[in-house]
């Protein structure tokens, strides 16, 4: 939908990241509205684990832009591409940080709807690495504060990245809530620990059929050499329950359960 550029704040002389909407996409009124909405929704979340929106508006040529904090590091996708899979302790840190961001987003009445490795950034800071969520471009406001009544959701619309879509997203349901994000994070965790996605298919239709009707394989079956604890296997089954009511009740509960299951609760 757009591109991201490194720029300098003219008065503060500090680096910023500028996200621009593509010229052709900008001609579409609904796409422009969604881009503007992304900035407003992300700005509602107060968390060190969400990329900070500094400003948004129009360029001199009339293109919408979002100015964000400039991050140094790599996406989780970059790391998985380089290494295949990551350790249980690294995964635990990702779960902890992402769930802090999701907890704040969900408290603010927002559902991200596109949690995936490309939208999880491993930011390098002076005191170590911090994980941040990117891109609220398809986020949904679930509360009465839905901005200007704008919500791109409609029944039958598939918003999100197919491999990480929850069953309710795959059905195109309008009643997608925070539990959809928890499912998507479960898919991310599966990929972190095994180097594979649990559901794959050559086309969208068969992929949706698998998400809706096929249980995810056991982690140990996908990566026998990874030595996944039985407690983490049980955690995964709950995270990827097709029925949203059978999943974890909140991002905090999901994170706490993973820390216990992985043996990282006291680390």
Active centre residues (catalytic): 114
Residues 116/164, Cβ–Cβ less than 8 Å: yes
Residues 75/188, Cβ–Cβ less than 8 Å: no
**Residue 201 carries which DSSP code?**
-
Integer Cα distance of 50 and 107 in angstroms: 14
Residues 129/73, Cβ–Cβ less than 8 Å: yes
Q: Residue 224 class from Cβ within 10 Å (0-12 exposed, 13-18 middle, 19+ buried)?
A: exposed
Residues 237/228, Cβ–Cβ less than 8 Å: no
Residue 244 three-state SS: helix
DSSP 87-141: -HHHHHHHHHHHHHHHHHHHHTTEE----SGGGEEEEEETTEEEEEE---TT-EE
């Amino acid at each position: 939908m757009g591109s991201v550029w490194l720029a300098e704040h003219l008065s503060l002389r500090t680096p910023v990241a500028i996200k621009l909407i593509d010229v052709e996409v900008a001609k579409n009124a609904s796409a422009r509205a969604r881009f503007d909405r992304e900035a407003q929704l992300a700005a509602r979340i107060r968390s060190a684990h969400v990329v900070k929106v500094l400003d948004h508006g129009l360029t001199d040529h009339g293109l919408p832009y979002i100015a964000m904090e400039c991050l140094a590091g790599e996406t989780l996708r970059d790391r998985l591409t380089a290494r295949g899979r990551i350790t249980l302790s690294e995964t635990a840190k990702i779960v902890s940080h992402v769930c802090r961001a999701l907890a704040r987003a969900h408290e603010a009445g927002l559902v991200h709807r596109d949690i995936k490795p490309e939208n999880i950034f491993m930011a390098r800071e002076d005191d170590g690495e911090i994980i941040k969520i990117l891109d609220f471009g398809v986020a949904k406001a679930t509360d009465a504060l839905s901005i200007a009544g704008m919500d791109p959701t409609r029944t039958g619309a598939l918003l999100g990245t197919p491999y990480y879509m929850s069953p309710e997203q795959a059905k195109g349901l309008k009643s997608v809530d925070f539990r959809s994000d928890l499912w998507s994070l479960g898919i991310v965790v599966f990929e972190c620990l095994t180097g594979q996605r649990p559901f794959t298919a050559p086309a969208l239709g068969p992929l949706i059929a698998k998400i809706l009707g096929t249980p995810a394989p056991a982690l140990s079956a996908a990566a026998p050499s990874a030595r996944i604890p039985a407690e983490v296997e049980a955690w995964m089954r709950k995270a990827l329950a097709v029925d949203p009511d059978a999943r974890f009740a909140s991002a905090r509960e999901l994170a706490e359960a993973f820390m216990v299951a992985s043996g990282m609760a006291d680390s």
